[in-house]
Amino acid sequence: MAKTLHSGRVQALSGSARVPGDKSISHRALMLGALAVGESVVGGLLEGDDVLRTAACMRALGAEITRHEDGRWHLFGRGVGGLSEPADLLDMGNSGTGARLLMGLVATHPFTSFFTGDASLRSRPMRRVTEPLARMGARFFTRDGGRLPLAVVGTASPLPISYELPVASAQVKSALLLAGLNTPGETTVIEREATRDHTELMLRNFGADVRVEATESGGRAITVTGFPELTGRQFEVPADPSSAAFPTVAALLVEGSEIVLPGVGINPLRTGLYQTLREMGADLRYENRRDQAGEPVADLRVRASRLKGIDVPAERAPSMIDEYPILAVAASFAEGTTRMRGLAELRVKESDRLAAMARGLAACGVVVEEEADALIVHGKGRAPRGDALIATRFDHRIAMAFLVLGMAAERPVAIDEAEAIDTSFPGFVALMNGLGAAIGSTDADAV
C-alpha cells in the first residue's frame, strides 16, 4: 500500500533549516572509512535509506560501524585490501550510487559477492560499470541486460587500466578509482566532461595519492596509485545541494518568501542548478563561504523571484543531472520557454525521469515537449493549474518536485508512493512544513 501526500498553495515561506547531509559524500565516507586504518568519526551523515544500506553492506564486509547518540558515526576500518567475504546478499535497496561504487570496491578483493536491490534498482543498467571492472580482472554474472541481481567474483590479481568514460558518469569513475586502491600500479580514468569530484577529494583527505590532469581535448585524467595506507579522519558532511534544491525552488516560487539553508555544499561540479536559476533571475546568494572536509560550503539565502525561461547548455548536465526535475518545476512558473538538453542520462535514473516529468507537468496544465534527450517547458509567467495526482514510480526526486509545484500552483497537487522520499531526504515534509509549506496525507493509503 503506497502512501499519498498532497501539497497546496501557501503564503510566504520563511526561516532557516538545514537539509540532510550530502548523499554522494555520505556513501563515500562510509566506504573509505571502512578501508582506512584506525578510527573515522563522521558527523552530518545522511541517514536516508540509501546510505543506511551502504552502512549495512560495509558492516557485512567486515568494517565496524556504530552510530552514537550524538548523531556521529564511528568507523573502524580494515585497511586497503582487508575486506572480507559477506555471508549474505548485499541488498542496496534503491541506491544506484551505493551499488555501483561498492561493485568497484569488491571487484579487486578475492572473494564473491552477490548484489540485489528493489524493483527499481533491479531494472537499472549496470554494464557501464561491470564492463570496465571486468578489464581489471573481475568477473560478473548478471541477469539479461546486465541487471541485478548479479554476482561479482573479485580478482586476486587485479590489473591497472586506463579507461575513457564513454559518457559522463561520476559513479563509473568512482567505481574504477575505488577498485584501483587495491590494484598495483596506477589506475586512470579519463572523462571528456568533468563530473562531481567527491571521490578524488575524499581519497586525498584519507591519504591516497591522486593526480588530476587536464587532457588535450579539454577533459580530465584522474589517476590513483594502488595500495595507499588510508588513515582514519574526523569530518562533517556538508548539507546536500541536491536536497537543498527543493526548498530553494519553493522559496523562489512562493511570493514573499525568504529562507536560509546553512552549510550547503557548493562544489562547482555540483552547482549547475544554482547557476541556471541565477540566469533565470533568481535572487540566490552564497553567504559565509568556508571549507568543510575539503569541500566548499556556504549558507544559501533565497528570496522569491520572477523567473524567465532560458536555454540550459547541454554541457552543464553533469553538474546538475539530479536537479532537472525541480528545474522543470521552476521553468513551469517562468515567463517564456526553458529548453533543457543533453538529458539522456535521465532515462536510466530511479525512473525514466524525462518521461515522468513530461507526464506530470502536462497533468498539471503545463505545456511541455519531450524529446529523446531534451525537455522543453513553455512557461507563462504564472502559476500552473495543478490539480493532479502524480505517479512517482517510487522516484524520490519526482515526488519532491511535484510537492514543491503544489505549494505555488492554483490548486493542490498529490503524489503517490511518498515513502520513496526517505531514500534521500528523511524529514522532508517536516522541514518544508516548518518553513511554511502545507504538505499532508490524503487518504491513509492509496492504491
Domain CATH number, residue 65: 3.65.10.10
Region 143-151: what's the mean pLDDT?
93
For 387-391, the CB contacts below 8 A with 24+ separation are 387/411, 387/412, 387/413, 388/360, 388/363, 388/364, 388/413, 388/414, 389/4, 389/363, 389/414, 389/415, 389/416, 390/360, 390/363, 390/364, 390/414, 390/415, 390/416, 391/356, 391/359, 391/360, 391/416, 391/417
Q: Was 24 annotated as part of a binding site? A: yes
pLDDT at 447 over 50: no
Is 22 labeled as catalytic in the residue annotation?
no
For residues 169 and 189, state if they share a domain: yes
pLDDT at 89 over 70: yes
Report pLDDT for 348.
Answer: 64
For residues 327 and 394, state if they share a domain: yes
DSSP, collapsed to helix, strand or coil, labels residue 316 as: helix
Task: Give the pLDDT band of residue 248 (cuts 50, 70, 90).
Answer: very high
Task: Give the pLDDT band of residue 217 (cuts 50, 70, 90).
Answer: confident
> Which sign, positive or negative, has the C-alpha torsion 388, 334, 396, 191?
positive
Phi, psi of 365 (to 5 degrees): 90, 15
Closest CA to 352 of 51, 101, 123: 123
Please provide the size of the chain in residues.
Answer: 447
Report pLDDT for 350.
Answer: 65
- Alpha helices, DSSP H, located in 341-440: 353-363, 396-408, 428-435
Task: Give the pLDDT band of residue 446 (cuts 50, 70, 90).
Answer: very low
pLDDT at 442 over 80: no
Whether residue 230 lies inside any domain: the answer is: no
pLDDT at 444 over 70: no
For residues 324 and 367, state if they share a domain: yes
From 179, 194, 224, give the residue that closes a domain: 224
More confident residue, 349 or 440: 440
Region 221-232: what's the mean pLDDT?
97
Q: Was 169 annotated as part of a binding site? A: yes
Q: Was 3 annotated as part of a binding site? A: no
Q: Show the domain range for 47.
A: 23-224
Q: Percentage of residues in the chain with pLDDT exceeding 90?
A: 86
Q: Was 28 annotated as part of a binding site? A: yes
Q: Was 353 annotated as part of a binding site? A: yes
For residues 164 and 15, state if they share a domain: no
Q: Which of 22, 50, 197, 322 is catalytic?
A: 322
Tally the domains of the chain.
Answer: 2
Non-local CB neighbours of 426 within 8 Å, separated by 6+ positions: 20, 47, 48
Q: Was 72 annotated as part of a binding site? A: no
Whether residue 229 lies inside any domain: the answer is: no
For residues 312 and 410, state if they share a domain: yes
For residues 319 and 392, state if they share a domain: yes
> Which pLDDT tens digit goes with each residue over 271-301?
999 999 999 999 999 999 999 878 999 999 9
Question: In which residue are the cell numbers 558515526 written?
Answer: 73
For residues 130 and 155, state if they share a domain: yes
Q: Percentage of residues in the chain with pLDDT exceeding 70?
A: 98
- pTM, entire model: 0.88
pLDDT at 46 over 60: yes
